[in-house]
Amino acid sequence: MTCVRSGFCCKQSICPYGKWDTELHQCVFLEGEAPGSFSCGKYEEIMEIDPEQLVSPAFGAGCGSTLFNKDRDEVILLLSATVSESA
């Protein structure tokens, strides 16, 4: 699976480097405006601490949860439409 930057993972729980925002119901370090544009605001810091870090957080691995993941579905539909338009 590939990460589509839906932000879903960081809206479900936090990694060992995260901090929960009780008002937004997501990690405080989640950056981006909409599904497809989200990223980790601590990525560079985490990579400096542990450049081999690929498990937690699983950067770029994609969310394994396809069930009830509307944000991921939305990004995949947008990507599919973009590919169809350029073909």
Chain centre to alpha carbon of residue 10: 6
> Measured on CA atoms in the order 49, 28, 66, 4, is the torsion positive or negative?
negative
Convert 15-65 into a string of H (helix), E (strand) and C (coil): CCCCCEECCCCEECCEECCCCCCCEECCHHHHHHHCCCCCCCCCCCCCCCC
| Rounded-to-integer distance, Cα 4 and Cα 14, Å | 18
Contacts of 46 (CB under 8 A, 6+ apart): 17, 40, 53, 57
pLDDT in tens, 10-28: 998 898 899 999 999 999 9
Span 32-74, pLDDT tens digits: 998 899 999 998 998 888 877 666 777 777 776 677 788 888 8
